[in-house]
């Protein structure tokens, strides 16, 4: 357990950095989740608290794509929001039912998987985009099932969620990148809201840390939006990937 002042300072810095990273390239979970664990929050509560802390950024991102969302059929948006809500609740309940010792054991593997997803993101998007050119009407048949699976993962562990959603929509035949981003942000917000609500009902959120980190993550998001115009994204992606690998390695060493 860290000294209180050091612990709260670490959480503030991690949340601020996560807000910046999420605004520029994503990957904020690689900072918030480990910081909470090292501050003494148990892994399951740390995962739930981290999900709350980074949630405000999804709302801002979704608002940024209002025009693209307004152009989509309301029936489609409603159906996919319901799918994401159901998947988010299912993933959150699965996390709450997972024994603490088991979850602690799989955390390094989840971090590695999320880091690999992040590293492969641009290549995965290109591959999915090329696959979208040949996607026909049949893609709609598995779009809902794929979205449900991704939402369950997102409710259980948030790392790499945005990349999975983008790849899903591109493979399902959505060729407009702005629309893909709009759907990704909206559905990330929906499943985060419901999963955080489930975590709250289950008593898994450490509220003082959650509110403290949400404040700094929001500030980081504003700063990151301005920084995104100046920093090469490749640099930021390299930092995120290195951070994910280091964090996964440290969790492996913790046993």
Give per-residue pLDDT as tens, 45-73: 999 999 999 888 777 777 778 888 999 99
State the DSSP string of 56-69.
HHHHHHHHTTHHHH
pLDDT band at 203 (very low <50, low <70, confident <90, very high): very high
> Is pLDDT above 90 for 94?
yes
How many other CB atoms are found less than 10 A from the CB of residue 73?
8
Residue 131: predicted pLDDT: 57
Over residues 242-247, the mean pLDDT reads 86
Q: What is the pLDDT of residues 107-156, one digit of tens each?
A: 899 989 888 887 886 777 677 666 555 554 455 678 899 999 999 999 99
Residue 15: predicted pLDDT: 93
Does the CA dihedral 125-249-156-215 come out positive or negative?
negative
> Is pLDDT above 80 for 227?
no
Residue 109: predicted pLDDT: 93
Average pLDDT, the chain: 85
Residue 129: predicted pLDDT: 61
Q: What is the DSSP letter of 98?
A: S
Residue 139: predicted pLDDT: 56
> Is pLDDT above 90 for 255?
no
Which is more confidently placed, 211 or 226?
211
pLDDT band at 79 (very low <50, low <70, confident <90, very high): very high
pTM over 0.85: no
Residue 171: predicted pLDDT: 80
Cα three-residue angle 159-51-6, rounded to 5 degrees: 100
Over residues 20-40, the mean pLDDT reads 85
Residue 248: predicted pLDDT: 85
Backbone φ, ψ for residue 159 (5° rounding): -60, 130
Which ranges of 98-158 would DSSP assign to H, the alpha helix?
A: 100-133, 139-156
Both tokens assigned to 198: 């489930």
Residue where the block lists tokens 């909206």: 186
Determine the Cα–Cα distance for residues 34 and 56; give it in Å rounded to an integer: 19
> Is pLDDT above 90 for 85?
yes
Contacts of 42 (CB under 8 A, 6+ apart): 100
Both tokens assigned to 238: 């390299």
Determine the Cα–Cα distance for residues 190 and 74; give it in Å rounded to an integer: 15
Determine the Cα–Cα distance for residues 102 and 100; give it in Å rounded to an integer: 5
Cα distances (Å, whole numbers) of residue 64 to 163, 186, 240: 18, 10, 23
Q: Which of 65-79, 156-170, 229-243 is least confident?
A: 229-243
């Amino acid at each position: 357990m860290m000294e209180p002042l050091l612990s709260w300072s670490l959480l503030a810095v991690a949340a601020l950095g996560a807000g910046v990273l999420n605004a520029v390239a994503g990957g904020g979970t690689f900072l918030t989740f480990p910081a909470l664990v090292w501050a003494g929050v148990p892994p399951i509560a740390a995962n739930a608290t981290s999900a709350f802390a980074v949630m405000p950024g999804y709302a801002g991102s979704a608002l940024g794509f209002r025009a693209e969302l307004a152009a989509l059929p309301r029936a489609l948006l409603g159906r996919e929001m319901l799918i994401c809500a159901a998947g988010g609740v299912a993933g959150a309940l699965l996390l709450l039912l997972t024994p603490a010792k088991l979850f602690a054991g799989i955390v390094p593997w989840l971090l590695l998987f999320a880091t690999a997803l992040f590293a492969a993101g641009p290549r995965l998007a290109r591959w999915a985009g090329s696959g979208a050119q040949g996607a026909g009407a049949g893609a709609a048949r598995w779009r809902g099932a794929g979205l449900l699976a991704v939402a369950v993962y997102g409710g259980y562990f948030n790392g790499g969620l945005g990349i999975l959603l983008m790849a899903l929509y591109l493979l399902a035949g959505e060729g407009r990148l702005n629309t893909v981003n709009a759907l990704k942000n909206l559905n990330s917000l929906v499943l985060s809201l419901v999963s955080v609500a489930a975590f709250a009902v289950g008593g898994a959120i450490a509220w003082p840390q959650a509110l403290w980190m949400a404040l700094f993550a929001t500030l980081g998001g504003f700063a990151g939006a301005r920084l995104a115009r100046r920093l090469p994204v490749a640099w930021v992606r390299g930092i995120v990937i290195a951070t994910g690998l280091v964090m996964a390695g440290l969790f492996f060493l913790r046993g």
